[in-house]
A = this chain, B = another copy of it.
Amino acid sequence: MSETTRRGRPRSAAADQAILEATRSLLGSGGYAGVSMEAVAAEAGVGKPTVYRRWASKAALVADAVLTSEAFGAWEQPEEPAGSGDVGHDVKAWLRAHAERMTAPGQIPLVLALAAAAAESPGGAGEPLYRRLTGPRHRALVARLEAGVAAGQLRAGRDLDAVADALIGALLYQLLTGNAAASAARAEDLVETVLEGFRPAPLAETAGRGRG
């Protein structure tokens, strides 16, 4: 499909990387508000139209810059392989890893920028921006939970999307409230509590960890 043969001068691939890198650098310094297309172009050593030709808005640029960052690039398919057989163990491991990546040095401003980009324009270009960004992770988590249900490790009939929303949303909320430090530490406990309600009823009495 489409023209495989491009006409005219080809785009510089190096410019893309320079622009994204400049955007991440500015995000690290001043957060979402500290990013300006002007500064991005200047720091990347390109003209402003070059930036606008590739990203339609600051929100889109920032989203791409964050999602293509080294730390985020690894998020895309991390949890499938972690199939230990126990859904509780897998989800704990995944959420903990998730939280640790989010709170790694220099990553917090990037995550917040994602939220800012999604929140600043309700009727903006990318209406469900945040969903687009976090969708793959959300779906992967839901898939793992479904597998747990199929394996009889979790009770059926629950709203799995709601559970995934709660787990991911808790991390987001902690970041927004400046409580990032707690995220990784609490991740396992959070999963344990939330999944408790999923256990098949008869097994519930042994589920308390430590003493409960």
Contact = CB atoms under 8 A, between A and B. Distances in A.
A29 to B, nearest CB: 9
Contacts of A33: 120-121, 124
A123 to B, nearest CB: 7
Which of A127, A170, A173, A210 counts the most chain B CB atoms within 10 A?
A173
A162 B177 contact: no
Contacts of A195: 197
A131 interface: yes
Interface stretch (A12-20, A36-44, A73-81, A111-119): A111-119
Given A157-B209, A173-B169, A31 B193 contact: no
A176 interface: yes
Contact of A162 (B34, B176, B190): B190
Instruction: Please classify how large the interface on chain A is, using the bins under 10, 10 to 19, 20 to 34, 35 or more.
Output: 35 or more
A30 interface: yes
A82 interface: no
Contacts of A45: none
B157 A212 contact: yes
A152 to B, nearest CB: 13
Given A176-B130, A186-B159, A209-B157, A124 B197 contact: no
The 8 closest A-B pairs by CB, nearest first: A196-B197, A169-B173, A169-B169, A204-B204, A128-B178, A131-B177, A116-B119, A201-B205
Interface of A: 30-34, 108-109, 112-113, 115-116, 118-124, 127-128, 130-131, 134, 155-159, 161-163, 165-174, 176-179, 182, 186, 189-190, 192-199, 201-202, 204-212
